[in-house]
Amino acid sequence: MSTTDPANAPAPASMGHKMLVSFGLFAVFFVFYVGAALVQSPAGKDVATIQVGGLPLGLILSLAVFPLSWLLIAIWFKVAR
């Protein structure tokens, strides 16, 4: 019978790696997602209107959420088995 405190017991071998990759990639997505939303909010109004290549930066960052997500998913499938 194990006497280890369940809260401090080691994680199953595959779980530590999965946790690192899954939470790490989700954190990248989440920071970008909330950051882009902040830029496109009243607080980031001045930054959002900066023109980059003829388009407002706020719009570019907001739309970039789509390809970034697909890229992160591709990475996640490669490394989080």
Partner 1 sequence: MDGNHLVVTFVGFFVALSIFITWWSSRTTKSASEFYVAGKGVPWVQVGIAMVGSYLSAASFLGCPGDIGVFGIDSIWLSIGFFGGYMALLMLIAGPLRNVGSFTVAGALARRFPDDKLKLAVMVATIIISTFYLVPQMLGAGLLFEMLMGWNFLYCTIALGALMCFYIVFGGMKSTLYNQVVQALFLWVTMVVLTVMAYFIVGDGSFTGILGSAAQTVPPIIAGKDPAVVAAVCNLPAAEAIAVARQMLPDAPTAMTVGVKASSTLVMISTIIALVFGTAGLPHILIMFFTVPSARAAKKSVTLCVVGLGIFYLCAIVLGFLLFPAIYPKLVSWISQGGTGVGMAKNMAVLEISSMVGGKWLMAIGAAGAVAAILSTSAGLMITVAGTVSNDLYKVYINRNATEKQELLIARVTTVIMSVVAVGLAVMLKQKNIAWLVMLGFGVAASAIFPGMLATLWWRGATRQGVLASVVTGLLVSVVFIVLLLTQGDKYVFLGLPVGGGPGVFGVTAGFLALFVVSKLTSDHGKDVDEFLALAHKPDVE
Q: What is the CA radius of gyration of the chain?
A: 19
Confirm or reject binding of residue 3 to partner 1 (CB under 8 A). no
Q: Are 48 and 63 in contact (CB under 8 A)?
A: no
Q: Which of 50, 55, 71, 79 binds partner 1 (CB under 8 A)?
A: 55
In the complex, what is the shortest distance from the CB of residue 34 to partner 1, in angstroms, rounded to a whole number?
7
Alpha carbons 46 and 58: distance in angstroms, whole number: 9
Local structure of 68: helix, strand or coil: helix
Look up residue 75 and give its two tokens: 């990475």
- Which parts of this chain interact with partner 1 (CB under 8 A)? 6-9, 11-12, 14-15, 18-19, 22-23, 25-26, 29-30, 33-34, 36-38, 40-45, 48-49, 54-56, 58-59, 62-63, 65-66, 69-70, 72-73, 76-77, 80-81
